[in-house]
Homo-oligomer: A and B are copies of this chain.
Amino acid sequence: MARKPADQSVNREEIIAAAADVLRYNGYDATTMKDIAAKVNLTAASLYHHFKSKDFLLLAVLEVGLDHAIAQIEPIVAAADKPAAQKLAEMITLHIVSVTDNTAVGAAMVFEIRALMNAKLPPRNGGQFGQEDYDEFIKRRDSFFARRAYFENLFKRTVQEGIVNGEFRPVDASIVTKTMLGAQNWVGVWFRPNGRLSGADIAHMMVDTFLHSLRVPQGLNMA
């Protein structure tokens, strides 16, 4: 007994996408390997050809989501000759849209960090899950957290840039960043695809909210 019915062979990316979907809605613990497998027409056992364990699969999902998010934001931060306000507007927009449209990003941002932290390896008893696997996991997990901090830092730097520029009021850039990201990530919690507003609509309003808060009132400069 083996083989798939007939359709194409499934690859890593498809599994990650499927897992991100399920994970986002059910959470790590409530998601079973069977749930994920079903989404790609496989059995749970088959997933183990592609990922060493459920933890590694979670890790892969989060990595993909975070990479996507960073890839979107990074070039904007790097742009020269662009006001911080405009950068921030674009960053917020791209991030919110990522959260609403890309399940992996949503998962990476919102819910499953705790599961990753709590992951109690080494997971397997007597199997082929050895010390190297454990080490790899820890390494990648730490790397994920570092990159996550880096992601947050992209926002913080832009806020600081604006303050130095004189575009923004002098605020605690760290807390303001957490405030913005909190609001943005939280979108992943309440957003409903078929609701009144699209991701772009929401982004537009949040940009307005935060830029209004940060910008130095232009009129007052004259006074």
Q: Which residues of A contact B (CB under 8 A)?
A: 1, 26-30, 34, 111, 113-115, 118, 120-128, 169, 171-172, 175-176, 178-187, 189-190, 197, 202, 205-206, 208-210, 212-214, 217, 219-220, 223
Say how many copies of this protein the assembly contains: 4
Chain B residues whose C-beta falls within 8 Å of the C-beta of A26 in the assembled complex: 114, 118
Roughly how many angstroms separate A83 CA and B31 CA in the complex, as a whole number? 47
Chain B residues whose C-beta falls within 8 Å of the C-beta of A212 in the assembled complex: 169, 212-214
Contact yes or no, B209 A176, CB < 8 A: yes
Contact yes or no, B208 A124, CB < 8 A: no
Chain B residues whose C-beta falls within 8 Å of the C-beta of A126 in the assembled complex: 1, 120, 123
Chain B residues whose C-beta falls within 8 Å of the C-beta of A223 in the assembled complex: 219, 223
The residue in A181, A183, A190 that gathers the most chain B C-beta atoms within 10 A of its C-beta is: A183
Given contacts A123-B125, A125-B122, A183-B186, contact A171 B209 (CB under 8 A): yes
Among B29, B176, B209, which residue has its beta carbon within 8 angstroms of that of A179?
B209
A189's nearest neighbour on chain B, judged by CB, is B182
Contact yes or no, A175 B202, CB < 8 A: yes
Roughly how many angstroms separate A208 CA and B171 CA in the complex, as a whole number? 9
A2's nearest neighbour on chain B, judged by CB, is B127
Chain B residues whose C-beta falls within 8 Å of the C-beta of A178 in the assembled complex: 183, 186-187, 190
Roughly how many angstroms separate A118 CA and B31 CA in the complex, as a whole number? 11
Contacts A29-B30, A122-B125, A179-B209 supplied; 12 other A-B pairs, CB < 8 Å: A1-B124, A1-B127, A27-B114, A124-B125, A179-B183, A179-B186, A180-B183, A181-B186, A182-B186, A183-B186, A219-B220, A223-B223
Q: Distance (Å) between the CB of A144 and the closest chain B CB? A: 16
Chain B residues whose C-beta falls within 8 Å of the C-beta of A113 in the assembled complex: 189
Q: Distance (Å) between the CB of A4 and the closest chain B CB? A: 16
